[in-house]
A and B are shown apart, each in its own frame.
Chain A
């Protein structure tokens, strides 16, 4: 059982927008602006897409955006493309004794 809760799957058609939620607690997501999101294609290492809730690393498309409200963080992908089909994981800092916790992952299908 993962510390952060994500939907198992989401889907959307090309060009549409989707949002993936990531629900934690007041000890992790709710306490720190250190939520990050990762994209993982089959057989590949995860790739950082969003850090510090809403910041994009250099080279990541501005179609990816992040936000947070209370204990829930969200990743939104606009203008869906076939290459966005992948697994997505959220991650949050949870304090010095626990450090980092991940969500269980969400499989995005582009219809």
Chain B
């Protein structure tokens, strides 16, 4: 059973870069065929897809965040990461990492989520 766990600072200052890592267990990122996503949820609000990376390294981003987002993968550590630059208070949210169910058909596996607050 695939498990995902987010890690990273819970507090980031405005204008800085938010950096999070998702550690995958129970399966290898490099084994192929899956999309590895970042999704966020503003406090009390709905879900927003940020972007994903395919096991091959191809990336796809939400157009509204594309200029500030980078998702990368470290297969040696079985991790993938999110960097979001020039953050503001509007980026305060719970950030989830997730993996698709298979065939890019939906987000079947989720981490527990980590709250990141942007504040000075």
Residues of chain A whose beta carbon lies under 8 Å from any beta carbon of chain B: 2, 34, 36, 38, 44-48, 50-52, 55, 57, 89, 91, 93, 96-105
Assembly CA distance A105 to B46 (angstroms): 6
CB distance from A31 to the nearest CB of B (A): 15
Contact B106 A46 (CB under 8 A): no
B window 25-83: CB within 8 A of A: 37, 45-49, 51-52, 60-63
Find B60's partner among A46, A50, A96, A104 (CB 8 Å cutoff): A96
A97 contacts B63, C-beta separation under 8 Å: yes
Residues in B lying within 8 Å of A, measured CB to CB: 37, 45-49, 51-52, 60-63, 96, 101, 104-108, 110-113
CB pair B46 A89 closer than 8 Å: yes
From B47, B63, B96, give the contact of A102 (CB < 8 A). B47
- Whether A36 lies near B107 (C-beta < 8 A) is yes
List B contacts of A104 (CB < 8 A).
46
Contact across chains for A34 and B47 when beta carbons are under 8 A apart: no
